[in-house]
Structure 1
Amino acid sequence: MWRAALLGAVLLQAGAAAAQQAAPAPPLAASSQTLVLWFLLATLALVVTVFVLVVSLIVIKMQPLLRQLYARPTVHNTWSGKVLGLFVGDNRLVTGENRDELMGHEYDGIAEYDNDLPPWWKYSFVGTVIFAIGYFGYYQVAKAGPNSHDEYETEMRQATLLVSADADDPNKLTTYTALGTPADLSAGKGIFVTNCAPCHGPNAEGKVGPNLTDEYWLHGGEINHVYKTIKFGVQGKGMVAWKGKLSGKQILQVASYVQSLQGSKPAGAKEPQGEKETIKPLAAK
């Protein structure tokens, strides 16, 4: 009895092992689809090759007939005749009518030739003009599609959704108050002289960068706008981002120092740039 039970257990274990071994392999759907794709591409390439060979053979066999047709005056100078000329060795449709024809102008051993612009170039130019007229009419006259400014605004709104709304969000303006203590302004001046003077001048009169002492601002003159410009920079305008190089307090100190220079009128000040924005000079505390 116990032998039968033992034999049954062994058979069950063997069956389980066989079932595991016979378990279906991972699906090969992806490999099959790849094979089918390559097969279709190879078939398409073969069909195209055969088609080109057949057409070439037909053209070669029909060349005498095509030459006779091409020689007719009613066909030779027509546009369709020029297309036909490509099959009999006349490349006027590609190279133009005149090639290396002397115009009778010669100076110092240099002769002037009369060469046509390639017809394909002329047709392409006409095509671009037609496209430009249609493009201008669609986007600028009919306003049927978004112009470049609208697309930029849309992309910026989409980008804003992908930026986290935290202290390092360049789209979120801070609400800081300018620092007015002598210690903060002195620290801000030291940072400015070390890092900002090469572009804005030792007195912020402006060099490569704009004048920071007048009422005109490219990116806003309020303390939080200045803070944002210093921290994140201005891409493509030469203003580097000082985030990671200066601490938040240091950025606020130098921004406060810049605001304290309003109306100082340094010698050799650069001409105004940007929009006028009256900023009240910062009074020291």
Structure 2
Amino acid sequence: MSLPRRTLYGASAGVLALLGSYPVLAQTAEAPATAPTSGASDSKMLLFWFLVSTLALVVLLGLLLVTALVVKLRPQLRRVYDMPTVRHSWSGKVLGLLVGDPVLVTGTVRDEVIANHDYDGIHEFDNDLPPWWKYGFVVSIIFAVAYFTYFHVAEAGQLSHAEYETEMQQAALLVSAGSDDPNQLTTYQALLAPADLGEGKTIFTQNCAACHGASGEGKVGPNLTDDYWLHGGEINHVYRTVKFGVQGKGMIAWKGKLSAKQLLQVSSYVVSLQGTNPPNAKEPQGEIDPTAKKLAPNR
């Protein structure tokens, strides 16, 4: 029996169309397998925590089973522990922990008085150090050897100073180097105009004279008229000190209380006080700053 020619043509066209579409179907089927998805990662994490939880549950059930078994067999374990050949052995002392005798940890008290060791009615007994103290001493020796080998011999870890430097470098990356960064020094020039110095003097009299004196001679705060500075005498160092203050030294931060121009005005006035030699000046504090420039008083 022969099939009609039209039927053969149709079947052939269908087979060719199916073969032509096979690469497309193959790519479509393979795409989900090769493309990473967050669902697969979530499934792995879920499986991981499931295994961890299962392991923790098995360990807990094991501990409960051992505890119940010890409680159930405690009378029999006590009779075994009371045997002279068992009690004084190391394994017997471990068994003693299970039946309520902590001799393995506390040791044995002999209450034997040492002859001729009686001071003011205080008797000295010949007792060994507690085992727990000995164990701790041995552990501390092992830890010291491991610490020395790791940090000083192999140099695999950072010492405290190097660790501090690393943390400071990491912290510096997190601090923006902007106008509110106390570690970022400004590049201002001192104001020399009489109007600016007069305004700086007004600000100084209202806010600073109580600690530094009306003429900068120093009271609670240091003398501002000599060549010695605690935190730098260059205009930008003075500006930073005025703006951010000195924590723990009584110098408050004027940031937010004075504008940037007012901070520069009062800083310029402070720099201009150098060399004025007022009466009753406080003794010098700090060190000479070679970068400090004396400004001609123009007030």
Query: After TM superposition, is the score higher than 0.5?
Result: yes
Name 1:24's counterpart in structure 2: none
Give the letter aligned to residue 43 of structure 1.
T
- 1:94–1:120: 8 Å Cα contact kept in structure 2? yes
Matched, 1:170 2:182: yes
Name 2:260's counterpart in structure 1: 248
Distance change >3 Å, CA 231–CA 89, structure 1 → 2:
same
Distance change >3 Å, CA 29–CA 130, structure 1 → 2:
closer
Moved more, 167-176 or 68-77: 68-77
Name 1:157's counterpart in structure 2: 169
Deviation at 1:152, TM superposition (A): 3.6
Deviation at 1:51, TM superposition (A): 1.0
Question: What number of residue pairs does the alignment pair up?
Answer: 253
Whole-Å Cα distance in 1 between the matches of residues 137 and 279 of structure 2?
A: 54
Name 2:282's counterpart in structure 1: 269
2:207 counterpart (181, 185, 195): 195
TM-score by length of 1: 0.61
Moved more, 59-68 or 93-102: 93-102
Structure 2 gap segments, 5+ residues each: 1-37
Deviation at 1:52, TM superposition (A): 1.1
Deviation at 1:54, TM superposition (A): 2.8
- 1:223–1:256: 8 Å Cα contact kept in structure 2? yes
Distance change >3 Å, CA 139–CA 77, structure 1 → 2:
same
Whole-Å Cα distance in 2 between the matches of residues 100 and 267 of structure 1?
A: 75
Whole-Å Cα distance in 2 between the matches of residues 38 and 258 of structure 1?
A: 65
Q: Which has the larger radius of gyration?
A: 2
Name 2:243's counterpart in structure 1: 231
Distance change >3 Å, CA 245–CA 113, structure 1 → 2:
farther
- 2:105–2:131: 8 Å Cα contact kept in structure 1? yes
Deviation at 1:248, TM superposition (A): 1.0
Deviation at 1:206, TM superposition (A): 5.0
Whole-Å Cα distance in 1 between the matches of residues 251 and 123 of structure 2?
A: 53
Distance change >3 Å, CA 51–CA 141, structure 1 → 2:
closer
Name 1:282's counterpart in structure 2: 295
- 2:94–2:104: 8 Å Cα contact kept in structure 1? yes
Give the letter aligned to residue 191 of structure 1.
I
Deviation at 1:217, TM superposition (A): 3.4
Distance change >3 Å, CA 159–CA 267, structure 1 → 2:
same
Q: Secondary structure at the match of 1:255?
A: helix
- 1:95–1:116: 8 Å Cα contact kept in structure 2? no
Name 1:186's counterpart in structure 2: 198
Give the letter aligned to residue 151 of structure 1.
E
Give the root-mean-square deviation of aligned CA atoms.
Answer: 4.8
Deviation at 1:86, TM superposition (A): 1.7
- Aligned positions of 1:214-225 closer than 5 A: 214-225=226-237
Name 1:260's counterpart in structure 2: 272
Distance change >3 Å, CA 197–CA 58, structure 1 → 2:
farther
Name 2:67's counterpart in structure 1: 56
Distance change >3 Å, CA 73–CA 250, structure 1 → 2:
farther
Moved more, 47-56 or 235-244: 235-244
Whole-Å Cα distance in 2 between the matches of residues 225 and 117 of structure 1?
A: 61
Name 1:87's counterpart in structure 2: 98
Whole-Å Cα distance in 1 between the matches of residues 230 and 111 of structure 2?
A: 57
Deviation at 1:224, TM superposition (A): 0.6
Deviation at 1:174, TM superposition (A): 1.5
Q: Secondary structure at the match of 2:100?
A: coil
Whole-Å Cα distance in 1 between the matches of residues 295 and 78 of structure 2?
A: 89
Deviation at 1:184, TM superposition (A): 2.7
Structure 1 gap segments, 5+ residues each: 1-26
- 1:206–1:270: 8 Å Cα contact kept in structure 2? no
Whole-Å Cα distance in 1 between the matches of residues 211 and 107 of structure 2?
A: 56
Give the letter aligned to residue 226 of structure 1.
V
Deviation at 1:251, TM superposition (A): 0.9
Whole-Å Cα distance in 2 between the matches of residues 134 and 200 of structure 1?
A: 56
- Render the CA deviation track for 1:203-237: whole Å, top value 9, x for unaligned: 35252x55444444343221111112222334565
Give the letter aligned to residue 87 of structure 1.
L
> What fraction of aligned residue pairs are identical, expressed as a percent?
58
Deviation at 1:247, TM superposition (A): 0.8
Whole-Å Cα distance in 1 between the matches of residues 231 and 154 of structure 2?
A: 33
